Chain A
Amino acid sequence: MVDTKRIWSLLEQVNDPEVPVLSVVDLGIIREVRETWSGGAEIVLTPTYSGCPAMDAIRMNIRMVLLSNGYQDVRLTTVLSPAWTTEWMSEKGKDKLRAYGIAPPLPLQQVCHPGLFVREEAVACPHCNSYHTTLISQFGSTACKSLYRCEDCGEPFDYFKCH
Chain B
Amino acid sequence: MIKDSLIDYTLHLADNALVLGHRNSEWTGHGPILEQDIALSNIALDLIGQARYLYQYAARLLNDRAADRVTSLAPGAREATEDSLAYHRDGWDFKNCLLVEQNNGDWGKTILRQFFFSAYQYFFYQQLAERKDRELAAIAEKSVKEVSYHLRWSSEWVIRLGDGTEESHRRMNDALDQLWRLTGELFTPSSYEKTLVAEGIAVDLVALQPLWEQRVADVFRQAGLTEPARGWQQTGGKEGKHTEHLGYLLAEMQFLQRAYPDNEW
User: Is B42 close to A, CB under 8 A?
Assistant: yes
Determine which of B36, B143, B152 lies in contact with A114 in the assembled complex, contact meaning CB atoms within 8 Å. Answer: B152
- In the bound assembly, the distance between CA atoms of A147 and B45 in angstroms comes to 17
Interface positions of A from 9 to 24, Cβ below 8 Å from B: none
- In the bound assembly, the distance between CA atoms of A82 and B141 in angstroms comes to 8
Main SS of chain A's interface residues?
A: loop
Determine which of A50, A52, A136, A138 lies in contact with B149 in the assembled complex, contact meaning CB atoms within 8 Å. Answer: A138
Tell me the smallest distance from the CB of B60 to a CB of chain A, in Å: 13
Q: Are A139 and B42 in contact (CB under 8 A)?
A: yes
Tell me the smallest distance from the CB of A86 to a CB of chain B, in Å: 10
When C-beta atoms are compared, the residue in chain B nearest to A46 turns out to be B142
When C-beta atoms are compared, the residue in chain B nearest to A50 turns out to be B49
Q: In the complex, which of the residues B49, B134, B159, B219 has the most CB atoms of chain A within 10 Å of its own CB atom? A: B49
User: Is B239 close to A, CB under 8 A?
Assistant: no
- In the bound assembly, the distance between CA atoms of A53 and B39 in angstroms comes to 16
- In the bound assembly, the distance between CA atoms of A118 and B47 in angstroms comes to 24
Known pairs A51-B45, A139-B149; A83 contacts B50 (CB<8 A): no
Q: Are A138 and B153 in contact (CB under 8 A)?
A: yes
Interface residues on B, range: 35 or more
- In the bound assembly, the distance between CA atoms of A111 and B152 in angstroms comes to 12
Interface positions of A from 36 to 52, Cβ below 8 Å from B: 47, 49-52
Determine which of B42, B152, B155 lies in contact with A143 in the assembled complex, contact meaning CB atoms within 8 Å. Answer: B42
User: Is A115 close to B, CB under 8 A?
Assistant: yes
Q: Are A116 and B35 in contact (CB under 8 A)?
A: no
Q: Are B139 and A80 in contact (CB under 8 A)?
A: yes
Known pairs A50-B53, A80-B53, A139-B43; A116 contacts B222 (CB<8 A): yes
User: Is A1 close to B, CB under 8 A?
Assistant: no
Chain B residues whose C-beta falls within 8 Å of the C-beta of A163 in the assembled complex: 145
Q: Are B141 and A115 in contact (CB under 8 A)?
A: no
Q: Are A112 and B141 in contact (CB under 8 A)?
A: no
Q: Are A114 and B148 in contact (CB under 8 A)?
A: yes
Interface positions of B from 32 to 50, Cβ below 8 Å from A: 35-36, 38-39, 41-50
Known pairs A50-B146, A112-B145, A116-B219; A79 contacts B155 (CB<8 A): no
Chain A residues whose C-beta falls within 8 Å of the C-beta of B142 in the assembled complex: 47, 50, 80-81, 83-84
- 7 A-B pairs, CB-CB below 8 angstroms? A51-B52, A53-B45, A80-B138, A81-B142, A116-B155, A138-B149, A139-B38
The 7 A-B residue pairs with the shortest CB-CB distance, nearest first, are A51-B49, A50-B49, A81-B138, A51-B45, A139-B39, A112-B148, A139-B42
A residues with a Cβ closer than 8 A to B are 47, 49-53, 79-84, 111-118, 136-141, 143, 147, 163
10 further A-B pairs in the complex, CB-CB below 8 A; given A52-B45, A138-B152, A139-B35? A50-B46, A50-B52, A50-B142, A51-B48, A81-B142, A113-B148, A116-B218, A137-B38, A137-B39, A139-B42
